[in-house]
């Protein structure tokens, strides 16, 4: 039977006496009953850490991250605590990304993680068929609502939708013909903070297998230099021919476009929706033929 969180944390000598630490709960800890920022400590008053209680699936990926020591992904500072379902990392400060430009190191680190966890063969019966069809239906309703409300750029988004998902079943089939890779399933600007280095903010819960490039597609689309960095770092990309790679990128980007559209009203308020659409349109318009 697992002991309490604080008892497990105190098994690490640096946390045996918590009275010397300044502890502040971190908002947004809905995925864990215990998520804190710890500052100070008896040995080093400059320490600034995040401590989180984690789930078994998070333990597994964080253990792999600990062995890889990737600069732009969360650093596991106390690997022994993972077996006690506790993750300790540095507190990373900085604002979220304001563009879809990734630092080359982020691209390389995500590719390295993917290389280390392996690739699975395409799965024509993947659950992504159902996800894609569901996303297409919700995206169509969301776009129709925006058009009815006269939201700026709604018609432009509708044009992109008709091009990439005029036949949702075909898009789902093409998505499931792609290799299945280890992905970061929540690679959004809000989870990319700071600069030099830019950090992927994550507690280990956002990783899993999915269609190749389904995470990085929006950040590689129309960005040949970023794509070149990825090709050099990715074993799958290096071994693929350029025709297949371009097709995979466009299919993955179309999938992400649908996911964006079907959640657009959850991600923004009516006041900021036109600004969000203007920002996103700069990327998604690249899916249209030139």
Mean pLDDT of 51-63: 89
Which residues are within 8 A (CB) of 49 and not within 5 positions of it... i.e. 6 or more apart?
A: 37, 38, 39, 77, 88, 89, 90, 91
Please name every residue paired with 23 in a beta bridge, in sequence order, or none if there are none: 38
pLDDT higher than threshold 70 for residue 41: no
Q: What is the pTM of this model?
A: 0.90
CA distance 181 to 188: 18
pLDDT higher than threshold 70 for residue 209: yes
Q: Where are the domains of the chain?
A: 5-90, 104-287
Q: 5-90: which CATH number, 3.40.50, 3.30.200, 3.30.450, 1.10.3470?
A: 3.30.200
pLDDT band at 30 (very low <50, low <70, confident <90, very high): low
Chain-wide mean pLDDT for the chain?
A: 90
pLDDT in tens, 225-258: 999 999 999 999 999 999 999 999 999 999 999 9
Q: Which of 28-32, 49-53, 160-164, 173-177 shows the lowest mean pLDDT across its residues?
A: 28-32
**How confident is the model at residue 1, as a pLDDT?**
40
Q: 104-287: which CATH number, 3.40.50, 1.10.287, 3.90.1200, 3.40.720?
A: 3.90.1200
pLDDT band at 42 (very low <50, low <70, confident <90, very high): low
Q: What percent of the chain has pLDDT over 70?
A: 95
To the nearest 10°, the Cα dihedral for 227, 229, 235, 238? Answer: 60
pLDDT in tens, 132-143: 999 999 999 999
Mean pLDDT of 51-62: 89
**How confident is the model at residue 28, as a pLDDT?**
60
Task: For tokens 């062995």, name the residue.
Answer: 67
pLDDT higher than threshold 70 for residue 271: yes
């Amino acid at each position: 039977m697992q002991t309490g969180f604080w008892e497990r944390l105190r098994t690490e000598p640096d946390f045996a006496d918590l009275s010397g630490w300044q502890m502040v709960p971190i908002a947004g800890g809905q995925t864990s009953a215990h998520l804190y920022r710890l500052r100070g400590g008896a040995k080093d008053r400059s320490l600034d850490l995040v401590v989180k209680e984690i789930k078994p699936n998070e333990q597994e990926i964080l253990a792999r991250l600990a062995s890889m020591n990737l600069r732009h992904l969360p650093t596991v500072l106390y690997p022994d605590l993972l077996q006690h379902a506790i993750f300790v990392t540095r507190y990373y400060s900085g604002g979220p990304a304001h563009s879809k430009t990734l630092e080359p190191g982020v691209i390389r680190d995500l590719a390295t993680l993917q290389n280390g966890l392996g690739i699975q063969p395409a799965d024509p019966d993947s659950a992504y068929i159902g996800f894609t069809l569901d996303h297409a239906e919700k995206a169509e309703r969301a776009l129709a609502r925006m058009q009815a409300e006269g939201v700026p750029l709604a018609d432009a988004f509708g044009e992109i939708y008709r091009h990439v998902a005029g036949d949702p079943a075909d898009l789902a089939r093409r998505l499931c013909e792609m290799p299945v890779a280890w992905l970061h399933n929540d690679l959004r600007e809000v989870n990319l903070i700071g600069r030099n280095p830019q950090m992927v903010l994550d507690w280990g819960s956002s990783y899993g297998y999915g269609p190749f490039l389904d995470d990085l597609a929006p950040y590689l689309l129309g960005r040949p230099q970023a794509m070149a960095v990825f090709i050099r770092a990715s074993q799958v990309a290096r071994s693929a021919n350029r025709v297949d790679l371009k097709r995979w990128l466009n299919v993955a980007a179309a999938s992400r476009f649908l996911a964006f559209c079907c959640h657009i009203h959850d991600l923004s308020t009516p006041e900021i929706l036109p600004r969000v659409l203007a920002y996103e349109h700069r990327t998604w318009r690249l899916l249209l033929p030139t």
